[in-house]
């Protein structure tokens, strides 16, 4: 089916990005994979390419657009090349919507130019060792000082993408106890400078997949956060999280669909090249049926991912629609990538083949940004169940 989401500008960006990935990422990606992290300097190259400023107003150094289509192309092109940009995805996909929604003029002036130039990389810290799906149960606290100049932050976070390289982290913390009527009351968001005294990075976590992404534990011991780094209003954090989770979930849905699409191409090529019993693996009817079935699933996921993208750009993607897109696209990707790996035989299990990395990378899509089970609870609630 003809796709209608991308115009000539988007396709020109795709060409530029494809050439950039070929030149700057493919030759060094194995080194990043072995090191388990993308070098910090690489983010300056992404900044030069302009990818951090697409949705930032021109007065702060950005391109002044309002669209997620260029991010979508990044998902497709990195998956196609069998690479990724490490933990930098959270900088734009997760952090920027909060800055745009909540930052005052003064905060925008302080934060956005450095955001665009990669001088300050951002991450977001919601999850804690004791609570992930149930965010209202978070224990990290931020107490306003008596003179009102700063908050004192104490607690711990875990699984924070970009946590090693981040220069500023949006930390969710309790500024007031939950009320009996509303467990979600009392959470606030802070843009914490990671150089602050008392802020420390714990382990860089050793993961099944997304090996180049710097996922870390964070700890805060009496960290002084200036009052001017509070984002939005005190105690309204949960409301803000609810507003932005739809775009995060769209990103995961689109990324998963792009991985599934790439997996089919990898499997098609591999099975055409590989000879077994005197014929290419692609010549077996089973291979054709498997690839055809995978292609049909990918086409359906593409339609959902594209439609969710249009709705997101129009400001219309609801929480339930985003949950539905995430659930569908990530479950499709799970099935498709597994079947495509099977068609590679033993080589599919080797990390030197992109399908093996995709298989491991994709697994987390059904977990982070809210698990598939949580997506189902959101959809069911929207159905009035
Ligand atoms: C690689 C990676 C990167 C991440 N990056 C970030 C990040 O940058 N920032 C951040 O804040 N967090 C991040 N996370 C955390 C992620 O969002 C959480 O892991 C996720 O929300 C699940 O929380 P949990 O791990 O505590 O699982 P739990 O909440 O303990 O869930 C355990 C199981 O219980 C199920 N469950 C929970 N509640 C229900 C329910 N109501 N009904 C039915 N089943 C339920 C879950 O679906 C799951 O199967 C990341 C995680 C990973 C693995």
Same domain, 376 and 259: yes
Atom nearest to 157 CA in ligand 1 = 11
Backbone Cα Rg of the chain: 21
Centre of ligand 1 to C-alpha 85, Å, is: 22
Q: 93, 251, 245, 88: which is closest to 162 by C-alpha?
A: 88
Same domain, 354 and 369: yes
DSSP for 199-257? EEEEEEP--SS-TTS-EEEEEEEEEEEEGGGEESSTTBHHHHHHHHHHHHHHHHHHHHH
Residue 27 CB: number of other CB atoms within 10 A?
A: 9
Centre of ligand 1 to C-alpha 203, Å, is: 18
Number of H helices, E strands in the chain: 12, 10
Same domain, 214 and 269: no
Atom nearest to 163 CA in ligand 1 = 8
99 in any annotated domain: no
pLDDT at 227: 98
- Is the minimum distance from the CB of 244 to ligand 1 under 6 angstroms? no
Q: 146, 166, 170, 151: which is closest to 223 by C-alpha?
A: 151
- Is the minimum distance from the CB of 204 to ligand 1 under 6 angstroms? no
Please choose from 156, 170, 371 the residue to mutate so as to test ligand 1's pocket, defined by most ligand atoms within 8 A of CB: 371
Identify the segments of the chain with pLDDT beneath 50.
none
- Is the minimum distance from the CB of 364 to ligand 1 under 6 angstroms? yes
- State the number of CA atoms in the 13 A half-sphere of 312 facing the CB: 32
92 in any annotated domain: no
CB 344 within 8 A of CB 355: yes
Q: ∠364-353-303 over CA atoms, to 5°?
A: 50
Verify whether residue 248 is a known catalytic residue.
yes
Centre of ligand 1 to C-alpha 76, Å, is: 25
- Is the minimum distance from the CB of 140 to ligand 1 under 6 angstroms? no
Q: 189, 268, 176, 187: which is closest to 225 by C-alpha?
A: 189
Centre of ligand 1 to C-alpha 215, Å, is: 14
Q: 260, 95, 104: which is closest to 192 by C-alpha?
A: 95
Same domain, 170 and 291: no
- State the number of CA atoms in the 13 A half-sphere of 280 facing the CB: 11
Same domain, 309 and 368: yes
Please choose from 249, 323, 367, 377 the residue to mutate so as to test ligand 1's pocket, defined by most ligand atoms within 8 A of CB: 367
Same domain, 279 and 310: yes
* Residue 146 in tokens: 């008596």
- Is the minimum distance from the CB of 360 to ligand 1 under 6 angstroms? no
CATH classification at residue 287: 1.20.140.10
Question: CA-to-CA distance for 94 and 369, rounded, in angstroms?
Answer: 10
CA 96 distance to own-chain centroid: 12
- Is the minimum distance from the CB of 166 to ligand 1 under 6 angstroms? no
- Is the minimum distance from the CB of 160 to ligand 1 under 6 angstroms? yes
Q: Which of 71, 120, 248, 297 is catalytic?
A: 248
91 in any annotated domain: no
- Is the minimum distance from the CB of 96 to ligand 1 under 6 angstroms? no
| Sign of the alpha-carbon dihedral angle for 337, 303, 19, 210 | negative
Please choose from 92, 132, 252 the residue to mutate so as to test ligand 1's pocket, defined by most ligand atoms within 8 A of CB: 132
100 CB burial (10 A radius; 0-12, 13-18, 19+) = middle
Backbone angles phi, psi at 153, to 5 degrees: -100, 130
Within 8 A by CB and 6+ apart from 275, the residues are 281
Same domain, 253 and 275: yes
Same domain, 194 and 256: no
Ligand 1 atom 27 nearest Cα: 132
Domain range spanning residue 204?
122-235
Domain end residue (candidates: 214, 235, 256) = 235
176 in any annotated domain: yes
Same domain, 77 and 144: no
- Is the minimum distance from the CB of 342 to ligand 1 under 6 angstroms? no
- Beta bridge mates, 231: 189
pLDDT at 187: 97
Provide the 3-class DSSP secondary structure of residue 29: helix
pLDDT at 72: 98
52 in any annotated domain: yes
Centre of ligand 1 to C-alpha 275, Å, is: 42
Centre of ligand 1 to C-alpha 24, Å, is: 33
- Beta bridge mates, 154: 141
98 in any annotated domain: no
Backbone angles phi, psi at 131, to 5 degrees: -155, 130
CB 165 within 8 A of CB 40: yes
pLDDT at 33: 96
DSSP code at position 94: I
Provide the 3-class DSSP secondary structure of residue 38: coil
CATH classification at residue 229: 2.40.110.10
Domain end residue (candidates: 235, 256, 286) = 235
244 in any annotated domain: yes
Q: How, if at all, do strands 215-226 and 168-174 pair?
A: unpaired
CATH classification at residue 81: 1.10.540.10
Q: 224, 223, 211, 239: which is closest to 364 by C-alpha?
A: 211
Domain end residue (candidates: 74, 98, 114) = 114
Same domain, 260 and 183: no
- Is the minimum distance from the CB of 133 to ligand 1 under 6 angstroms? yes
Q: 372, 348, 143, 153: which is closest to 256 by C-alpha?
A: 372
Number of domains in the chain: 3
Centre of ligand 1 to C-alpha 295, Å, is: 30
Distances (CA, A) of 19 to 77, 81, 83: 10, 11, 13
- Is the minimum distance from the CB of 218 to ligand 1 under 6 angstroms? no
Same domain, 230 and 167: yes
Same domain, 300 and 178: no
pLDDT at 1: 83
96 in any annotated domain: no
């Amino acid at each position: 089916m003809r796709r209608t989401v991308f115009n000539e500008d988007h396709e020109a960006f795709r060409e530029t990005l494809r050439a950039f990935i070929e030149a700057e990422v493919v030759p060094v990606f194995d080194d990043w994979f072995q090191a388990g992290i993308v070098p910090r300097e690489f983010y300056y190259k992404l900044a030069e390419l302009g990818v951090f400023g697409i949705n930032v107003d021109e007065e702060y150094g950005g391109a002044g657009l309002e669209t997620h289509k260029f991010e979508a192309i990044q998902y497709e092109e990195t998956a196609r090349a069998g690479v990724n940009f490490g933990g930098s995805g959270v900088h734009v996909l997760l952090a920027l919507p909060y800055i745009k929604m909540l930052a005052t003029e003064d905060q925008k002036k302080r934060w956005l130019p450095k955001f665009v130039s990669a001088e300050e990389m951002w991450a977001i810290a919601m999850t804690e060792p004791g609570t992930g799906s149930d965010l209202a149960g978070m224990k990290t606290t931020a107490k306003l000082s008596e003179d009102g100049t700063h908050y004192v932050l104490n607690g711990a976070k875990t699984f924070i993408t970009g946590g090693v390289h981040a220069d500023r982290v949006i930390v969710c913390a309790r500024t007031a106890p939950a009320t009996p009527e509303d467990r979600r009351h009392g959470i606030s968001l802070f843009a914490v400078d990671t150089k602050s005294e008392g802020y420390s990075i714990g382990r860089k976590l050793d993961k099944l997949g997304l090996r180049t992404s710097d996922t870390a534990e964070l700890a805060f011991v009496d960290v002084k956060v200036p009052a001017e780094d509070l984002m939005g209003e005190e105690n309204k954090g949960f409301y803000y999280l609810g507003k932005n989770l739809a775009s995060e979930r769209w990103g995961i849905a689109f990324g998963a669909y792009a991985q599934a699409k790439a997996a089919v191409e990898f499997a098609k090529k591999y099975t055409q090249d590989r000879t077994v019993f005197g014929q290419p693996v692609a010549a077996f009817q089973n291979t054709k049926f498997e690839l055809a079935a995978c292609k049909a699933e990918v086409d359906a996921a593409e339609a959902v991912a594209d439609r969710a993208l249009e709705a997101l750009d129009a400001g219309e993607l609801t929480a339930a629609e985003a949950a539905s897109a995430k659930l569908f696209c990530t479950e499709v990707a799970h099935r498709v990538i597994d079947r495509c790996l099977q068609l590679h035989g033993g080589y599919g299990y080797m990390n030197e083949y992109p399908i093996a990395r995709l298989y491991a990378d994709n697994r987390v899509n059904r977990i982070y940004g809210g698990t598939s089970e949580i997506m189902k609870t959101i959809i069911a609630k929207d159905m009035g169940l």
